[in-house]
Amino acid sequence: MSREILIAPSILAANFARLGEEIAAIDAAGADWIHCDVMDGHFVPNISFGADIIKAIRPLTKRIFDVHLMIAPVDPYIEAFAKAGADVVTVHAEAGVHLDRSLQAIRGLGKKAGVSLCPATPEQAIEYVLDRIDLVLVMTVNPGFGGQSFLESQLEKIRRIRGMIGDRPIRLEADGGITRDNAAAVAAAGADTLVAGSAVFRGNSGADYASNIAAIRIAAEAGRVPKLQDISVQPMRAGEDALVR
Ligand code: DX5
Ligand code: ZN
């Protein structure tokens, strides 16, 4: 639980007519990772962009490219996204029946491997691949569109997955409907990596993006502060205030 909070703006909410400038702006605004939402109009009911766009924007920033593949089948395209410059390649557990094979393929290409779960998918879907992954992405909306409302039901799933991860070096990412208002609850549940699209690209200047990212980060970090009931209170002795540590 001591991992630092990372903020990953989703470029799905960027102005595509000025995509290069938008990447530079979120880089300067303090984004930790760049979240790239790839949609195929089949696994999800929307089409976004593919490997060629990722390849084109790759030279514009040194930030980690966090590529979220909402496509099925996924295996035939993993290599193209790896070659385009993805650092983390995340596939959906629901995208096919051979999740273990997809994860082996990603690591075999020298990339970090992630698994994403749709809201209705239980956490048991990752139980037997925990040693093959670097990241779990919990969808906190139904995948396909930006700007949807956060699903509170996913907080319990985040909590359970945090328990399953234990000491493993696996990032726990939440994606969809994240704002400065719910970031504390998401981090308190155990997420350490927060994707945000519309909440980051609100406003139209780099200064707006920077304050949006900072607000989400501050809220998330505050959410990680131990709650009062978790703090041990030393017994009071006469004439002494309680010592809280
Ligand atoms: C949804 C995507 C998310 C989404 C985030 O399918 O995976 O990354 O675009 O956007 P907001 O923060 O607007 O929900
Ligand atoms: Zn995403």
Q: Give the global pTM.
A: 0.92
How far is residue 156's CA from residue 140's CA, in Å, rounded to a whole number? 11
The mean predicted confidence, pLDDT, of the chain is 93
Q: Which ligand is nearest to the CA of 45?
A: 1
The confidence band for 3, taking pLDDT boundaries of 50, 70 and 90, is confident
Ligand nearest to the CA of 68: 2
Between the two ends of the chain, the Cα-to-Cα distance in Å is 18
- The CATH label, of 1.10.10.10, 3.90.700.10, 1.10.357.10, 3.20.20.70, for the domain at 6-232 is 3.20.20.70
DSSP string for 78-104: HHHHHHHT-SEEEEEGGG-S-HHHHHH
Confidence label for 245 from pLDDT (cuts 50, 70 and 90): very low
| Residue 189 φ/ψ, nearest 5 degrees | -70, -20
| Cα of 144 from ligand 1 centre, angstroms | 8
β-pair partners for 244: 233
Please state the atom number of ligand 1 nearest to the C-alpha of residue 143.
Answer: 6
How far is C-alpha 198 from the geometric centre of its chain's CA atoms?
14
Q: 69, 135, 195: which to mutate for ligand 1, most atoms within 8 A of CB?
A: 195
DSSP secondary structure code for residue 145 in this structure? -
Where does the pLDDT of residue 207 fall: very low under 50, low under 70, confident under 90, or very high at 90 and above?
A: very high
What pLDDT, on a 0 to 100 scale, did the predictor assign at position 51? 98
Ligand 1: which residues within 6 Å by Cβ? 10, 12-13, 35, 37, 68, 70, 141, 143-144, 146-148, 175-178, 195-199
| Residue among 40, 134, 175, 192 flagged as catalytic | 175
How many angstroms separate the alpha carbon of residue 232 from the centre of ligand 1? 38
175 is an active site residue = yes
**Alpha-carbon Rg for the chain in angstroms:** 19
Q: Candidates 11, 71, 140, 198: which one to mutate for ligand 1, based on the most atoms within 8 Å of Cβ?
A: 198
**Which residues share a beta bridge with 37?**
68
φ/ψ of 236, rounded to 5, equals: -80, 140
| pLDDT tens for each residue of 5-62 | 999 999 999 999 999 999 999 999 999 999 999 999 999 999 999 999 999 999 999 9
Closest-CA residue, ligand 1 atom 4, reads 146
Active site residue 75: no
Q: Which of 32, 37, 66, 192 is catalytic?
A: 37
Residue 150: half-sphere exposure toward Cβ, Cα within 13 Å: 20
